[in-house]
């Protein structure tokens, strides 16, 4: 941001010397105009395609409005919000979403860090590993969901047979993973973890690459163990990267939709908030209620974002200076 | 000796990582190669119901020439058209925007970047409800433009963000140096600026395309039959009769849409990594 500082001091000093002022402010004004001419269209399109729908949702959420009966549309103030917030189904979906977010975040942080550390130091299959790790990122989430669904289904899958073999016959090969809430959630989380850990480990790897090697070596000379070196030197110096990865992942996980939709369709209490919004809007055609739920989800995401950013004191735009 | 030990230890550690990454991919390929009878009968498969004893291409003929053709082939075209158009619009707009952010000094620069970041965290489903209603009024429901517009929400902020980070690393002084050396501004642009900026623009386009290609929320809620993209179509596959599962056909279709993307990753691995992590970690 040094350029801004230069301009302001430049402007201040030029106020005294009027001759210089004309030239400088002309140039500054021209640059500003050109800047907005170039950046403006993208900015306006971005606002139009995102903030307009959100504003429209805010408006619609104040109506009792069913698509199948548009004539009965009625302004009801905050009735939809009161109904949602007092509905146990809403809180159940919120709980499930929070559970998935927390579990996947913790597992991915540990797993992503381990993978990043191997990628950082590895010599031999270096390029192959880096390429292979990126593959899940490029797979469509729905495809990943189907792959894990079919792998764990007891009729078409292989996983039960492998577990049966590895446990010397103790595991029942006809176990139905999709018959209960917790076993279903396990597979949903596994698929989500598989798909998104690569992104996490890449962010962490970029952080690891910036750790000062000499500090780590100094700690080693001083007799610090491997674990002490990680905890006292490596993790603190890549704190920013860890925080950014956590914020990105938490906000992404909270809007989970594809995996549970494909695997359970919300059966066995595995409905997430995003799925609830979709069902209310499309299957039940309750536009007013769906909008209220959408706004609530949006508010949750804002709260999480604000909370995490404040907690970690991260400047997400830091890299883009 | 110590380093040699570490070297082999790390090589050993990479094996489970690669297996964990690859097994679900190999599994979906294996399932797509199973005949209808092999899908129902474990005796016809090896490695604990993993790989079929005899390979069958039935599922692939089903989605390209057989009963599932009318569902899959149009969906494939819709995906390609919608994702390419959304990517093109976003990258063009973002290139101007990012150039201005990287090179010019104007108020509101930071606001644009923060808006882009905020928008990319939007819960996309929250946009579905208002669009669902609006598209019905505007007759955009179940049309290709009705998908391209929301896809720009996914691709534009991402493109602005990644491209600004790329452009900020470009040594722009070289443009002036070329002009000092007697090149016209057009020559300086074509010979110096464009080659420097092109890799960033290209990488951004790939990442934006991936993001649009992955979408399921918009396409499953804002289309019905005429504009479905592949992820939504995969979900609406049905078996040959009402008593058979569409497992094989879904896996074959999944493999078809996965291969081109995996090839892109293999070819441009380093650039994609640079793009994904740019701007995020330097703080």
Residue B170 and residue B237 share a domain? yes
Residue B108 and residue B37 share a domain? no
Q: How far apart are alpha carbons B162 and B166 in whole angstroms?
A: 6
Q: Which percentage of chain B shows pLDDT scores above 70? A: 95
Question: Which candidate in B103, B125, B232, B246 is best for mutational testing of the A interface (most A CBs within 10 A)?
Answer: B125
The pLDDT of residue A9 is: 41
Residue B1 pLDDT exceeds 90: no
Contacts of A107 in chain B (CB under 8 A): none
- Would you state the structure tokens that stand for residue A194, as one six-digit string? 């598989």
Confidence of residue B279 (pLDDT cuts 50, 70, 90): low
Residue A144's alpha-carbon distances to A115, A191, B187, in angstroms, are 20, 6, 47
pLDDT digits (tens, 9 = 90+) for A118-162: 888 887 788 888 888 888 988 999 999 999 999 988 888 888 888
- Residue labelled with tokens 């650039």: B271
Q: How far apart are alpha carbons B125 and A295 in whole angstroms?
A: 10
Of B12, B30, B56, which residue is a domain's last?
A: B56
The pLDDT of residue A63 is: 83
A230 domain residue, yes or no: yes
A293 domain residue, yes or no: yes
- How many distinct structural domains can be found in chain B? 2
Q: Chain A closest CA to B248's CA: distance in Å?
A: 10
Please give the residue range of the domain that contains residue A210.
Answer: 83-320
DSSP 8-state class, residue B35: -
Asked if B88 has any chain A CB less than 8 Å from its own CB, the reply is no
Mean pLDDT of A185-200: 92
The pLDDT of residue B130 is: 87
Q: Which percentage of chain A shows pLDDT scores above 70? A: 90
Residue A160 and residue A101 share a domain? yes
At residue B77's C-alpha, the angle toward residues B73 and B80, to 5°, is 140
Sequence-distant (≥ 6) Cβ neighbours of residue B170 within 8 angstroms? B102, B196, B197, B200
The closest CB to that of B100, out of A35, A203, A262, belongs to A35
Residue A188 pLDDT exceeds 90: yes
Average pLDDT taken over every residue of chain B: 85
Q: What is the ipTM of this complex?
A: 0.88
The pLDDT of residue A74 is: 78
A164 domain residue, yes or no: yes
Residue B115 and residue B85 share a domain? yes
Q: How far apart are alpha carbons A58 and B150 in whole angstroms?
A: 18
A71 domain residue, yes or no: no
The 3-state DSSP composition of chain A as helix, strand, coil percent (nearest 5) reads 80, 0, 20
The pLDDT of residue B193 is: 81
Residue A316 and residue A266 share a domain? yes
B202 domain residue, yes or no: yes
Mean pLDDT of B64-82: 88
Residue B240 pLDDT exceeds 80: no
A118 domain residue, yes or no: yes
Q: In sequence order, what are the beta bridge partners of A75?
A: A63
- Classify A75 as helix, strand or coil: strand
Q: How far apart are alpha carbons A305 and A165 in whole angstroms?
A: 45
Q: Which percentage of chain A shows pLDDT scores above 90? A: 21
A78 domain residue, yes or no: no
Mean pLDDT of A253-277: 89
The pLDDT of residue B256 is: 92
Find the closest chain B residue to A273 by CA distance. B125
B12 domain residue, yes or no: yes
A76 domain residue, yes or no: no
Average pLDDT taken over every residue of chain A: 83
The pLDDT of residue B242 is: 57
Q: Chain A closest CA to B67's CA: distance in Å?
A: 20
Q: How far apart are alpha carbons A188 and A173 in whole angstroms?
A: 20
Mean pLDDT of B207-234: 90
Please give the residue range of the domain that contains residue B22.
Answer: 1-56
Residue B144 and residue B10 share a domain? no
CB atoms within 10 A of CB B87: 27
Q: Do A319 and B279 touch (CB under 8 A)?
A: yes
Assess contact for A42 and B160: CB atoms under 8 A: yes
Name the CA radius of gyration of chain B, rounded. 24
The pLDDT of residue A189 is: 94
Residue A320 pLDDT exceeds 80: no
- How many distinct structural domains can be found in chain A? 2
Q: Out of A140-144, A191-195, B81-85, B162-166, which region has the weakest mean confidence (pLDDT)?
A: B162-166
B252 vs B66 pLDDT, higher one: B252
Mean pLDDT of A106-125: 89
Confidence of residue A319 (pLDDT cuts 50, 70, 90): very low
Closest CA to A135 of A192, A188, A206, A196: A196
B234 domain residue, yes or no: yes
Contacts of A43 in chain B (CB under 8 A): 97, 112, 115
The pLDDT of residue A1 is: 33
Mean pLDDT of A95-104: 94
Residue A290 pLDDT exceeds 70: yes
Residue A4 pLDDT exceeds 70: no
pLDDT digits (tens, 9 = 90+) for B55-65: 888 888 888 88
Residue B224 and residue B114 share a domain? yes
pLDDT digits (tens, 9 = 90+) for B146-175: 999 999 998 999 899 888 888 888 888 887
Q: Out of A20-29, A80-89, B126-135, B244-253, which region has the weakest mean confidence (pLDDT)?
A: A20-29
Find the closest chain B residue to A151 by CA distance. B27
**C-alpha count within 13 angstroms, C-beta hemisphere, residue B247:** 26
CB atoms within 10 A of CB B209: 21
Mean pLDDT of B248-262: 89
Confidence of residue B205 (pLDDT cuts 50, 70, 90): very high
Find the closest chain A residue to B254 by CA distance. A143
Residues 226-245 of B with CB under 8 A from A: 230-231, 234-235, 245
- Would you state the structure tokens that stand for residue B175, as one six-digit string? 């443009």
Q: Do A42 and B234 touch (CB under 8 A)?
A: no
Q: What's the CATH code of the domain at A300?
A: 1.10.3720.10
- Would you state the structure tokens that stand for residue B185, as one six-digit string? 């501004």
Residue B18 pLDDT exceeds 80: yes
Residue B237 and residue B125 share a domain? yes
Q: Do B97 and A41 touch (CB under 8 A)?
A: yes
pLDDT digits (tens, 9 = 90+) for B136-149: 889 999 999 999 99
Residue B239 and residue B197 share a domain? yes
Asked if B176 has any chain A CB less than 8 Å from its own CB, the reply is no
- Would you state the structure tokens that stand for residue B262, as one six-digit string? 């995996």
Residue A8 pLDDT exceeds 60: no
Residue B49 and residue B73 share a domain? no
- Would you state the structure tokens that stand for residue A9, as one six-digit string? 């001091």
Residue A25 pLDDT exceeds 80: no
Closest CA to A156 of B235, B27, B234, B230: B27
Residue A264 pLDDT exceeds 80: yes
Find the closest chain B residue to A30 by CA distance. B106
């Amino acid at each position: 941001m040094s350029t801004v500082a230069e301009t302001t001091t430049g402007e201040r000093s030029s106020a005294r010397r009027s001759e210089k002022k004309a030239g400088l402010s002309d140039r500054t004004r021209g640059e500003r105009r050109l800047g907005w001419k170039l950046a403006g269209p993208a900015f306006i399109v971005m606002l139009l395609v995102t903030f307009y729908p959100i504003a429209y949702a805010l408006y619609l959420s104040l109506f009792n409005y069913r698509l199948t009966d548009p004539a009965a549309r009625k302004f009801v103030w905050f009735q939809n919000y009161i109904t949602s917030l007092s509905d146990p189904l809403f809180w159940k979906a919120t709980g499930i979403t929070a559970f998935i977010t927390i579990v996947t975040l913790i597992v991915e942080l540990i797993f992503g860090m381990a993978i990043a550390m191997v990628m950082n130091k590895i010599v031999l299959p270096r390029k192959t590993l880096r390429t292979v790790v990126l593959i899940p990122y490029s797979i469509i989430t729905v495809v990943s969901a189907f792959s894990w669904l079919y792998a764990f289904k007891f009729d078409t899958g292989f996983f039960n047979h492998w577990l049966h073999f590895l446990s010397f016959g103790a595991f029942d090969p006809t176990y139905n993973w999709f018959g209960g809430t917790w076993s279903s959630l396990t597979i949903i989380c596994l698929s989500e973890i598989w798909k998104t850990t690569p992104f996490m480990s890449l962010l962490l790897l970029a952080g690891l690459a910036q750790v000062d090697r000499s500090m780590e070596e100094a700690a080693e000379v001083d007799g610090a163990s491997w674990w002490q070196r990680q905890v006292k030197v490596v993790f603190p110096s890549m704190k920013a990267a860890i925080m950014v990865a956590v914020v990105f992942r938490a906000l992404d996980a909270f809007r989970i939709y594809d995996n549970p939709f494909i695997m359970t369709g919300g059966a066995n209490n595995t409905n997430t908030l995003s799925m609830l919004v979709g069902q209310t809007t499309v299957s039940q055609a309750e536009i007013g209620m769906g909008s209220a739920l959408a706004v609530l989800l949006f508010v949750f995401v804002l709260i999480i974002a604000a909370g995490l950013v404040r907690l970690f004191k991260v400047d997400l735009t830091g890299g883009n200076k | 000796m110590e380093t040699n030990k570490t070297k082999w230890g790390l090589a050993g550690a990479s094996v489970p990582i690669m297996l964990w990454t690859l097994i679900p991919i190999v599994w979906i390929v294996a399932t797509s190669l199973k005949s209808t009878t092999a899908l129902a009968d474990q005796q016809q498969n090896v490695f604990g119901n993993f790989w079929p004893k005899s390979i069958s291409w039935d599922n692939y003929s089903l989605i390209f020439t057989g009963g599932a053709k009318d569902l899959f082939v149009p969906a494939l075209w819709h995906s390609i058209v919608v994702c390419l158009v959304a990517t093109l619009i976003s990258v063009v707009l973002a290139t101007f925007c990012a150039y201005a952010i990287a090179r010019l000094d104007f108020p509101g620069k930071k606001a644009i970047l923060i808006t882009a970041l905020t928008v990319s965290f939007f819960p996309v489903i929250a946009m579905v409800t208002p669009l669902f209603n609006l598209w019905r009024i505007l007759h955009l429901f179940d049309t290709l433009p009705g998908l391209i517009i929301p896809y720009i929400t996914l691709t534009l902020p991402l493109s602005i963000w990644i491209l600004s980070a790329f452009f900020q690393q470009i040594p722009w002084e070289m443009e002036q140096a070329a002009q000092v050396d007697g090149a016209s501004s057009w020559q300086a642009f074509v010979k110096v600026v464009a080659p420097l900026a092109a890799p960033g623009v290209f990488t951004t386009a790939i990442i934006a395309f991936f993001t649009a290609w992955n979408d399921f929320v918009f396409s499953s809620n804002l289309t019905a039959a005429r504009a479905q993209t592949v992820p939504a179509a995969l979900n609406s596959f049905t078996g040959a009769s009402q008593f058979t599962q569409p497992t094989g056909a879904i896996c074959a279709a999944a493999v078809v849409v996965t291969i081109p993307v995996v090839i892109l990753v293999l070819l441009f691995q380093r650039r994609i990594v640079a793009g994904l992590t740019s701007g995020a970690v330097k703080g």
